[in-house]
Amino acid sequence: MPAGTLYRGREGMWSWVAHRVTGVLIFFFLFVHVLDTALVRVSPEDYDKVVATYKTPIVALLEYGLVAAILFHALNGLRVIAVDFWSKGPRYQKQMLWTVVGIWVVLMIGALYPVLGHAAREVFGS
């Protein structure tokens, strides 16, 4: 496969950028998660305070963003694998990208209530 085949065109460039950005965001989440989990050994009281802040509506929005990043990164990663290992992958990469985006949108709509339902009830009442 010639160099640059995978990310040819505007859509390919943006999928490349989005894949890298979501990967970095997921890495930082994992870094913070390891740090806050390690806090339980240092100070269980401080750990409880930190975990209590995670139950706020703003953090629920951040969790929804995390779900969005993980889903896009995973689905786009499968697309990249298909482009790399399927002989017709480069030919259909644009269609596969739009399929990934469509599946991602449907899954994100499906994640609205499970991820943000508690925050909505807290803000607007039950």
> How many domains are there within the chain?
1
The answer to whether residue 112 sits within a structural domain is: yes
**Separation CA 26–CA 104 (nearest Å):** 17
pTM of the predicted protein model: 0.83
Could you list the pLDDT tens digit for every one of the 126 residues in the chain?
A: 444 445 567 777 888 899 999 999 999 999 999 998 999 999 999 999 988 988 889 999 999 999 999 999 999 999 999 999 999 988 998 999 999 999 999 999 999 999 998 888 888 887
The answer to whether residue 103 sits within a structural domain is: yes
The answer to whether residue 4 sits within a structural domain is: no
Q: What is the pLDDT of residue 121?
A: 87
- CATH value at residue 72: 1.20.1300.10
CB 18 within 8 A of CB 68: no
The answer to whether residue 85 sits within a structural domain is: yes
Estimate the crossing angle of helix 44-53 against helix 9-42, to 10 degrees: 150
The answer to whether residue 53 sits within a structural domain is: yes
Where helices occur in the chain by DSSP H, the ranges are: 9-42, 44-53, 57-85, 93-124
The answer to whether residue 79 sits within a structural domain is: yes
Q: What is the pLDDT of residue 55?
A: 86
The answer to whether residue 6 sits within a structural domain is: no
Q: What are phi and psi of 110, to 5 degrees?
A: -65, -25
Token reading at 81:
């694998």
Domain enclosing residue 94, as ranges: 12-124
